[in-house]
Amino acid sequence: MTDSPIIIALDVESAAEAQRLVRAIGDAASFYKVGLELYAAAGPDFVRELKAQGHRVFLDLKLHDIGETVRRTVAQVTKIAPDFLTIHATDQVMRSAVSGRDGSGKVGRDASRGDGRDASRGDGRGAADLKLLAVGVLTSLDDSDLLKDGYVATVTDLVELRARNAMDAGVDGIVCSPREVARVRAITGRRMILVNPGVRSAGAATGDQKRVATPAEAVAAGADHVVIGREVTRAKDPRGETLRILEDLGVVAKAG
């Protein structure tokens, strides 16, 4: 379903379990998140497997390391061709990731262009079509958590700062909570892809998330994609639950 904003989070322990979910969901979804747990268990081959089946893949690794390590890691990730890759929204990490993706071998802005993009192609890309998404502040954190870690900024202030830095660094999108997505969209306009985790239908358990909203609220506020996990993957009927959420979003007609 190419017009669906839903990304299904395959937060499971094995490739076999993930594939069972993919089969159960069927044509109700075509975009899947592979996070750290599944990537550690199944590795790059599982990403290739999903791509070979015609699915889009959101590789949620949240890379955060020294610049050279990030650059080289992103260059390797391009070889398995996920659609999205997450990195943390710190300046050195973002610029290094762009360099690794574009193959420019340079960290930061190209001196001749001044926009953080590779001057070798008119579209600002090297050989890869990988979209880099910067994670502003994890949706499991709130202001009190930031204070414990020594930040004096609020979550909203930090997300807004990192959104501006992400645009300047040349990444393609931002991962933020639905609570901040309207303000981030006001900063970025339509230039950036905005992805919202921390999305739950009304009445669904929030789990370990602190800044949440419903899928419809997130999309109305400006999200391009919403990430939905346990609500679908732990449902008795994963396909039916996905279709119900799509009905709420107006993507498919309500039955009856």
Which residue in 189, 199, 185 sits closest to 139, CA to CA? 199
Active site residue 79: no
Neighbours of 234 (CB within 10 A): 13
Residue with tokens 């970025």: 188
By the 8 A CB rule, do 9 and 233 touch? yes
> SS3 letters for 87-110?
EECCHHHHHHHHHHHHCCCCCCCC
Q: What is the DSSP letter of 39?
A: H
d(CA 111, CA 134): 23
Q: Nearest 5°: CA angle at 249, between 244 and 255?
A: 40
Q: What are phi and psi of 71, to 5 degrees?
A: -60, -50
Count of helices and strands (H, E) across the chain: 10, 8
Residue of 33, 51, 62, 79 marked active site: 62
Catalytic residues: 62
